[in-house]
């Protein structure tokens, strides 16, 4: 699927279903929120939510006085929904409709990079592009919070195949530049009753020039 067709696909999904009907919907991203609070020493530090869609995570971050949040998604329709939902508070958020894999997609320097929606849709050939973009944006010492479909999850989501992961598969991608802080699995039940097991991991970006002492 090309990047243009990806945008059209997600615009179609967000146009067809109400946010509460979407398979990944949950009233609160409790694990994500807990870890962001844990690893962000200040609410003024920059945060980006990759593939944020119409998630309510941004609402909760605003409620906790986080003041430097960017929501990035392929679907302009999803971002418009969030902006409408937030009302006046939307002016406190930066919205970016672009493809994180695309080198022309502008990314801010951030201290927290959060992704519960994009990485598991990447093909193996696209993972290096993603990591390159992550390393360009995430400040050394910052935290990368990732939620992906685990090996026990279904093989598709929203009509698309997903790339399911384990700690070992994620480690093979990220351990050269990141130190694993913690991991957690949880089962998400979709509005349609399908169980999806997510693997959550939190990683610290190792400052350039340093290596881990094992």
Q: Are 16 and 77 in contact (CB under 8 A)?
A: no
Instruction: Please say if the pLDDT value at position 1 is more than 60.
Output: no
pLDDT digits (tens, 9 = 90+) for 160-199: 899 999 999 999 999 999 999 999 999 988 777 778 899 9
Report which DSSP code applies to 55: -
Return the pLDDT at 4.
63
The pLDDT-based confidence of 213 (bands split at 50, 70, 90) is very low
pLDDT digits (tens, 9 = 90+) for 125-165: 999 999 999 999 999 999 999 999 999 998 988 788 999 99
Across the range 59-76, mean pLDDT stands at 96
- Helix, strand, coil proportions of the chain in percent (round to 5)? 35, 30, 35
Q: Are 138 and 207 in contact (CB under 8 A)?
A: no
Q: Is 30 or 210 the better-scoring residue by pLDDT? A: 30
Instruction: Please say if the pLDDT value at position 210 is more than 60.
Output: no
Q: How far apart are CA 136 and CA 152, in angstroms?
A: 31
Q: Are 182 and 169 in contact (CB under 8 A)?
A: no
Whose tokens are 């990047």? That residue is 3
Instruction: Please say if the pLDDT value at position 18 is more than 60.
Output: yes
Among 36, 209, 5, 204, residue whose Cα is nearest residue 116: 36
Return the pLDDT at 5.
60
Q: How far apart are CA 115 and CA 127, in angstroms?
A: 14
Across the range 38-52, mean pLDDT stands at 97
Instruction: List b or e across 39-60, with b for residues whose CB sees 16 or more CB atoms inside 10 angstroms.
Output: bbeeeebbbbbbbbbbbbbbeb
The pLDDT-based confidence of 214 (bands split at 50, 70, 90) is very low
CA distances from 159 to 116, 163, 188, 199 (A): 17, 13, 18, 21
How far apart, in Å, do the first and last CA atoms of the chain sit? Answer: 40
pLDDT digits (tens, 9 = 90+) for 88-129: 999 999 999 999 999 999 999 999 999 999 999 999 999 999
Across the range 73-88, mean pLDDT stands at 95
Q: Which CATH architecture best describes the domain 31-40+47-65+109-207? A: 3-Layer(aba) Sandwich (3.40)
Q: How far apart are CA 164 and CA 197, in angstroms?
A: 10
The pLDDT-based confidence of 7 (bands split at 50, 70, 90) is confident
């Amino acid at each position: 699927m090309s990047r243009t067709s990806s945008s059209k696909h997600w615009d179609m999904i967000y146009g067809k279903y109400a946010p509460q009907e979407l398979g990944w919907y949950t009233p609160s991203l409790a694990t994500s929120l807990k870890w962001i609070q844990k690893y962000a020493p200040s609410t003024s530090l920059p945060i980006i939510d990759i593939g944020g869609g119409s998630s309510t995570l941004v609402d909760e971050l605003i409620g906790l006085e986080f003041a430097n949040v960017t929501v990035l998604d392929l679907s302009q329709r999803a971002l418009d929904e969030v902006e409408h939902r937030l009302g006046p508070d939307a002016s406190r958020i930066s919205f970016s409709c672009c493809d994180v894999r695309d080198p022309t997609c502008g990314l801010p320097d951030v201290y927290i990079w959060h992704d519960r929606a994009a990485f598991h849709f990447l093909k193996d050939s696209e993972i290096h592009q993603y990591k390159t973009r992550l390393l360009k944006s995430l400040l050394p010492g910052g935290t990368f919070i990732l939620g992906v479909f685990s090996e026990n999850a279904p093989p598709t989501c929203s009509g698309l195949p997903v790339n399911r992961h384990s700690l070992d598969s994620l480690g093979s991608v990220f351990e050269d530049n990141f130190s694993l802080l913690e991991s957690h699995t949880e089962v998400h039940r979709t509005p349609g009753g399908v169980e999806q097991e997510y693997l959550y991991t939190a990683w610290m970006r190792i400052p350039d020039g340093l290596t881990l002492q094992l």
